[in-house]
Structure 1
Amino acid sequence: MKKTRRQYSTEQTVKKLRDAEAAVNHFLEKYDAKYPKACECPRKDREALLTFYNFPPRTKPSL
């Protein structure tokens, strides 16, 4: 079955969102013990940090 452009971009966005979530998790695991105050913000505001990935790919360059 041939994928449409929208299906492909949605799949790519999901993959990128997963990558971003993994990067935040990695950051917290690596630095939480040494810099707990610095890790409070990404932990508390995780949803706001990843909001970018909820926008369609066409819109992202203008953000």
Structure 2
Amino acid sequence: MKAVQTCGISDKETGFHAAGGECFWAVISNWHASVVADTQGIIGNDPETFHIIETLEFL
């Protein structure tokens, strides 16, 4: 599943815009358990966040 998330980033110094800001959403599931991850726009659209999401494993 893939969707476009509206991101209201406009502040060059902090990367945040008060009218939007949830710039990353992910729902990960193995059909028995689920994780919802989101960012608030200040941090989270970076390689470290994407690496964490990509390597998430359900045990």
Give me the TM-score of the superposition, normalised by structure 1: 0.27
Structure number with bigger Rg? 1
Give me the TM-score of the superposition, normalised by structure 2: 0.28
- Larger relative contact order (C-alpha < 8 A, sep ≥ 6)? 1
Specify which structure has the higher proportion of strand: 2
Specify which structure has the higher proportion of helix: 1
